[in-house]
Structure 1
């Protein structure tokens, strides 16, 4: 039985715990024949002192203090009246659970098992619905086209749509290259592995490094392509001599140093050469040992003269550049109005999208300028005026 004092405590608790209360009444609200404003000055401690221990227990069960500092055992209404039999013994508890599981008899089967007469149960209703055929209405035009299509046309269509699992490798490549389907490889044909094509091994790079350095130093007019790809054991002295000569060269357009053992030690010399050279169009430093910071240093050097149109630096010592390096590279590329191609593996979509957008903008700008130049030359060489 809840007394009047407990009801009053309930009322005070819910009134104070509610932040906003909107009440619409035609008559003033009352509690026990008195207006609610009468209870504003009541002391809760005095009410609690009037309650018996049983009434306080009832109040504690009905009112959640919502205090995270109290343990759950003191916040919920459940009370265990049993006295503890002793401290917790985990080993005995597990033994008791295992004993109960062993001694508890198994539930009898609805139908006893007989060897050789087992019939698998029917699949669930959801699987039965999934196995049913789904009728798709493609329209009369598509239905007529697919019904009368040959096997080769269907295979070509599957290749265009990217259904690789519907065909073998020979069928897929034949469809893309428009060579016609191989004989005997239809839907019912035998799929066999195609022989691997053997390509000749690339011959070793026999370029004389000392001779090419001399050509760069002499600034020969016909020497526009330097290729040191795949040359091993190039000394630091040769790299230094090349970069010093490259800074003052005015005819070299392509610099290829892929797989040449280039490290961060030589990157600073190459960066200084790129900041001074005004004729280079292509720079290739793929498959070397350049760190992410070294790549940033090279890309930053391209902003000095803004003449390089293609820069390649994939497959370095560190395969992953990191978000900070990629964002820094993206900002440097967006400041470069001449770069058209960038060979660099980027992990984050934001960096790839922004760089691809900027490169396409540079290409469009060059195409637009070229069109304007052609139109200007065309109109200047016309013998008759365009408008009379």
Structure 2
């Protein structure tokens, strides 16, 4: 179901009656609230008396014999050597043993990581550590993006040699005209290598323009369009555009409006990536194991090929 369609077009129900007038949402809500207030409550047939059981009281059936036997505690004989070692073990040693055996519910994260890293248990926790939450780490707020879209577009148009990284991440309310100017300027740019457009409100309209750009520009190596409003078909269009010049090495497009791509889209993306010999990293959430495994195997093959060619180039020089 396309979420961009209005609600009236998402279902097949059609009302044959003619509308009596335009819809006034405020008046409708006020009418509903008024009806709810004026409608009297239905009186109970029997008054409520605390502690009185009405009707037949439900009694749970007895447990089967097998479940009763399974719930009984099982005594395990560990032997005299283990019994003696455990009886003389300290509390910290037992916590370390629980971490080794994987009993995560017996300790908190600080105790577990301290056991794995052999740092010694934190003081004052003991078995009560599971009831004490780890203190939250406060991180400072990320500062706003200081980039000026108009200034960066001018640098791209001028094709400045030192300007190789364009970062528009988290810039709100970027107009369609600015995106069009940017993509048009990038068609002739020969120095920009990283294009970051995360959380800028990109839709399929801008994704189509970006795909046309990637089919013409052979200098861009990294493309980041995460956290936007691109549909699964728009993501497929972008990945398909990478096969034209085969110059992009990293592509990121996770966290879009449609979180689930679906099996058909994921298989189509997998087939497109398996045809790309230059893509090294892909930032995209995939739900099915087959698609994840095939893409990971192909990307690792591309990385190995690039390392092998770089090694041969060094030895030959």
CA displacement at 1:202 relative to structure 2? 0.7
For residue 347 of structure 1, report the CA deviation from its aligned partner.
1.2
**Which digits, 9 at most, give the CA deviation of each residue in 1:195-220, with x for residues without a partner?**
21111111111211011011111111
Pair 194,303 (structure 1): closer, same or farther in 2 beyond 3 Å:
same
Contact residue 255 and residue 283 of structure 1 kept, 8 A: yes
Q: Does 1:128 align with 2:59?
A: no
Q: Who is 2:178 aligned against? A: 238
Of 184, 192, 216 in structure 2, the residue corresponding to residue 276 of structure 1 is: 216
Alignment of structure 1 residues 6-17 onto 2, 5 Å: none
Measured against aligned partners, the alpha-carbon deviations of 1:211-261 in whole angstroms (never above 9, x if no partner) come to 101111111111111110110111111101111111221211111100101
Please tell me whether the aligned partners of residues 340 and 363 of structure 1 are also in contact (alpha carbons under 8 angstroms): yes
Query: In the aligned structure 2, how far is the partner of 1:199 from the partner of 1:137?
Result: 48
Q: Give per-residue Cα distances to partners, 1:325-375, cap 9 Å, x unaligned.
A: 111100001111111111111111111111111111112222222333333
**Aligned partners of 1:194 and 1:278: how far apart in 2?**
49
Q: 1:340 to 1:129 in 2, by over 3 A?
A: same
Deviation (angstroms), 1:159: 4.4
Select the structure with the greater relative contact order (CA < 8 A; seq sep ≥ 6): 2
Which residue in the other structure is 1:183 paired with? 123
| Greater Rg over alpha carbons, structure | 1
How many aligned positions are there?
255
Gaps of 5+ in 1: 1-120, 378-388
Q: TM-score, normalised by structure 2?
A: 0.71
Local SS of the residue matching 2:214: helix
Give the structure 2 partner of residue 169 of structure 1: 109
Q: What are the equivalent positions in structure 2 for 1:72-83 lying under 5 Å apart?
A: none
1:335 partnered with 2:275: yes
Instruction: Give the whole-Å Cα distance in 2 for the aligned partners of 1:216 and 1:144.
Output: 75
Per-residue Cα deviation, 1:290-316 (whole angstroms, up to 9, x for no partner):
011100010011111112111111111
Q: Distance in 2 between matches of 1:238 and 1:356?
A: 36
What's the secondary structure of 2:312's corresponding residue? Answer: helix
Alpha-carbon offset, residue 164 of structure 1: 2.4
Structure 2 Cα separation of the partners of residues 160 and 245 of structure 1: 58
User: SS of 1:283's equivalent?
Assistant: strand
Normalising by structure 1, what TM-score? 0.59
Instruction: Give the counterpart of 1:262 among 202, 219, 233.
Output: 202
What aligned pairs does 1:1-388 form with structure 2 within 5 A after superposition?
Answer: 124=65, 127-128=68-69, 131-133=72-74, 135=76, 152=92, 155-156=95-96, 158-159=98-99, 162-175=102-115, 179-187=119-127, 191-377=131-317
Structure 2: gaps (5+ residues) = 1-61
